[in-house]
Amino acid sequence: MFKSSVEIFRKDFKSELRTRYAFNSLLMFVIVTIAIIKFSLGDEKTDNEILSGLFWIVVFFSASSGLSRVFIKEEEKETSVALKLSTSHPEVLAGKLIFNFALSFLINVVIFVFFIGATGIVIKNYSGFAITFFLGNLGLVSVSTIIAAIISKANSKGTLYPVLAFPVLLPLLLSLIEAGKLSAGGVETDRLLSEFLFLFSYTVVVTITSFILFKFIWED
């Protein structure tokens, strides 16, 4: 099972390298969003708490324009039939999860670097923020991959994603914003443990449910 998942990941990675469509458009999206945030903040000194909230907003919307592409791509090029023939459904989902995780991690690191450069946010507890960042990525990917699979079968693909993803991501975002705020404010890592536990268990639950339900989406 693991081998063909990696194979799917490599296929997606190669086709991404060839066009670099998803990465480039995401990069532009991130630059534009951070520029708008910078313009609206002006030269004012903004609270770290507000800034770390804004950071997760940028992450959420860039995820909504980037991570939803994985399954839509297959439908548009009509390659999903070939995938269906050659592998079984858990393998497809696992491969897409790996690809989405790589893409999301890459783009979020870019967001993080740009965000620090543009707004000058000060993070006092770096290790706590790094763990939040990592767990947040995992959760975001687990939710957005299964939602992407659902919308790839629907008609209005572009606008549907944020509508469907927001209610599912809301608990995650609340916890992320809280943990980000606390770690930026310099709270020690032990006190963030309950947030980490919630983020992790949420990700696990969503991933397991996706593996159970994915066959109903994938069959046609």
Partner 1 sequence: MKTYYKILVFVILSGVCIAGFMVPIDFIPGLGERARNLFFHVPMSWVAAVAFLMSMVFSIRYLMTKNMDFDIKAHCAAEIGLLFCVLGYVTGTIWARVDWGTFLKIDEPRMMSILLLMLIYAAYLILRSSIDEEEKKARLSAVYLIIAFLTVPFFIFIMPRVFPGLHPGSADDAQSPGGGPVVKNEMNSTMRIVFYTASIGFVMLFVWIYNIRVRIEKLTIKKLRRIAI
Q: Which residues bind partner 1 (CB under 8 A)?
A: 146-147, 150, 153-156, 160, 163-164, 166-168, 170-171, 174, 202, 205-206, 209-210, 213, 216-217, 220
Of the pair 30, 164, the CB lying nearest partner 1 is at 164
Residue at 163: amino acid letter: V
Helix or strand or coil: residue 44?
coil
Of the pair 174, 197, the CB lying nearest partner 1 is at 174
Least distance to partner 1, CB of residue 157, Å: 9
Q: Which of 29, 10, 35 is nearest to 108 (CA)?
A: 29
Q: Which residues contact 12 (CB under 8 A, 6 or more apart)?
A: 70, 95, 96, 99
- Are 140 and 169 in contact, with CB atoms under 8 Å apart? yes
Q: Which residues contact 65 (CB under 8 A, 6 or more apart)?
A: 25, 26, 29
Least distance to partner 1, CB of residue 80, Å: 14
Least distance to partner 1, CB of residue 155, Å: 5
Query: Residue 125 corresponds to which tokens in the numbers above?
Result: 């507890």
Of the pair 35, 208, the CB lying nearest partner 1 is at 208
Handedness of CA 73, 78, 82, 87 (dihedral sign): positive
Least distance to partner 1, CB of residue 175, Å: 11
C-alpha 165: how far from chain center: 11
Of the pair 44, 220, the CB lying nearest partner 1 is at 220
Least distance to partner 1, CB of residue 9, Å: 23
- Are 135 and 199 in contact, with CB atoms under 8 Å apart? yes
Of the pair 30, 176, the CB lying nearest partner 1 is at 176
Least distance to partner 1, CB of residue 29, Å: 23
Residue at 66: amino acid letter: G
Of the pair 107, 146, the CB lying nearest partner 1 is at 146
